[in-house]
Amino acid sequence: MESDFDGSSKFDDSEIDNLEIFMLTVPGVEINHELLKQRIRETDRDLSSVLSLLQELENADLLPEERIFTLDQGVREQQSIRKLQ
């Protein structure tokens, strides 16, 4: 992964910052940056742990303040349409 500059498969603080910058380029997704940093630091910082945070996108039971990622309205509507097809 491009954000893991030293190839250790573990994300240090500067690599977490770079990952955040990369994630800003993902259209239709809002990111709670402080929560993202906190949750990554609570894991063992390896790639699979970081990727597991993405599963949160599918968890509709989370409160807004518990969400790292929020899909904007247009993306949510597209997902709803795909589920109906």
Would you say residue 40 lies in a domain? Answer: yes
Confidence of residue 79 (pLDDT cuts 50, 70, 90): low
Distance CA 83, CA 78 (A): 9
Would you say residue 2 lies in a domain? Answer: no
The 10s digit of each residue's pLDDT in 21-66 is 888 888 888 889 899 999 999 998 988 898 898 888 778 888 988 9
Would you say residue 1 lies in a domain? Answer: no
pLDDT at residue 50, rounded to an integer: 87
> Quick one: three-class SS letters along the chain?
CCCCCCCCCECCHHHHHHHHHHHCCCCCEEECHHHHHHHHHHCCCEHHHHHHHHHHHHCCCCCHHHCCEEECHHHHHHHHHHHHC
Q: Domain span at residue 76?
A: 13-84
pLDDT at 5 over 80: no
Would you say residue 6 lies in a domain? Answer: no
